A = this chain, B = another copy of it.
Amino acid sequence: MQRIKAKKLTLGIVGGGPKSWIGHVHRISSRFDDQYEIMAGVFSRNAKFSKKFGKSLGISPDRCYSNYKEMADRESKRKDCIKVVAIMTPPSSHQTISEKFIDKNIHIISDKPFAGNLEQAKKLYKKIKSNKKIKYALTHNYSAYPMVREAKKLVEKGKIGKVEYINVEYVQDWSSGKNLTTRNSKKILKWKIDNKIVGASAVLNEIGSHAYHMAIYISGLKAKSIFADIKQISNKIKMDNNAQVMINFNNGAKGMFWTNVMARGGVYGLRIRIFGSKGSLEWIQNDPNYLKFNPSRGAVRLLERGFFNTNFSKNFSRLKFGHPEGYLDAFANIYREFATSLKNKSKKRYFFPNEDEGLETAKFIDACKLSSKKKKWVKI
């Protein structure tokens, strides 16, 4: 058996088999800062496959399981039971799987969205709040980019004054790359477009949840009422592939939200702009090490991660300015900060996304579906 360094947390994984892209991302993220050791996992419903893949990850065969219940039950009986479980299964399963591990006092890092629909989200939220022993992190990973957190800080400090308008979009092209061209990709895609698996709305659960999360994470606001229009605009994928939403925020600000997964031409962009009474901010994932800060009465500032005036970002950064950080560095920030929160008893403030933001996002998506159907503004 592997000897674990005192400082390492034992980690179990549910989901993320050999063909899963996000599984790969979670595992790299868990290794990034040497804070976790993967000790157990469910990688397939087929026990043999699960063991085979687990073995390739260095996991003991007796800790490779074929379903999450077995894993939770058996691990919880071990002396060296995993401390944390990372869940990266389809959205509709998040609630039940999480609840099982909560019952066993195992901390959770869950992939987004929080749950398959609002009903599940409410139950899960209640469950998490009911067990004071466990901590919960939700991998809305874009919020962990250092310059996104710098933006959050600037808003908190009042640098752009009262927030008056938010424009956020997450636009992808699932028709490009391998997504629609190979058989395998069609199988993977199916995963994303079957409502029973992906939950409420494909485009909103998969991508839109990130965009809305960014808006509330940075601004500290939440939607009070919305008007949505969800539609299949391209006939290449039989699913909701476009959603546009007008938002009234709880402080009186307005906003627009747009998500599309069939934006042709390899377009791939998460972008947020927040306008306040004293200035505005802009961040784009394609250029993540920079944050544009436009004060009302002064020259535009191109803030760079790790450079002067971006001190807050340095807390969530590993490299010096000039050396680009990317998607994985940001994703790993959630793993790293979650580890710190578990080892550290102090009531320090943490910045990883959690169940509160998860529930809020589920409410938003639910309201969008209702609004789009009724063609009316809907309160949240």
Residues of A within 8 A of B (CB): 1-3, 5, 7-8, 21, 24-25, 27-28, 31-34, 56-58, 160-161, 164-165, 167, 169, 172-173, 175-177, 227, 229, 231, 233-234, 236, 242, 244, 246, 253-254, 256, 258, 260, 262-269, 275-280, 285-289, 292-304, 306-310, 318-329, 375-377
B27, B256, B327: which contacts A34 (Cβ < 8 A)? B27
With A275-B265, A298-B308 as known contacts, state yes or no: A321 contacts B177, CB within 8 Å.
yes
Q: Is the CB of A262 within 8 A of B27?
A: no
With A31-B34, A265-B280 as known contacts, state yes or no: A308 contacts B297, CB within 8 Å.
yes
Known: A165-B242, A173-B296, A292-B302. 7 other contacts (CB 8 A): A21-B320, A256-B258, A266-B308, A286-B322, A289-B326, A300-B304, A326-B329
With A56-B7, A260-B165, A326-B329 as known contacts, state yes or no: A309 contacts B320, CB within 8 Å.
no
Q: Give every chain B residue within 8 A of A3 (Cβ-Cβ).
A: 1-2
With a 10 A CB-CB cut-off, give which of A276, A279, A287, A294 has the most chain B CB atoms: A294
Q: Is the CB of B320 within 8 A of A328?
A: no
Q: Is the CB of B277 within 8 A of A264?
A: yes
Q: Is the CB of B27 within 8 A of A297?
A: no
Q: Is the CB of A328 within 8 A of B322?
A: no
In the assembled complex, the Cα of A153 lies from the Cα of B294 at a distance in Å of 23
With A233-B164, A244-B246, A300-B304 as known contacts, state yes or no: A264 contacts B294, CB within 8 Å.
yes
> Could you name 12 residue pairs across A and B whose Cβ atoms are closer than 8 Å?
A21-B320, A31-B32, A31-B34, A32-B32, A34-B57, A165-B233, A165-B263, A175-B296, A177-B308, A297-B308, A299-B307, A299-B308
Interface SS, A side: loop
Q: Give every chain B residue within 8 A of A306 (Cβ-Cβ).
A: 177
Q: Is the CB of B328 within 8 A of A265?
A: no
Q: Is the CB of B318 within 8 A of A285?
A: no
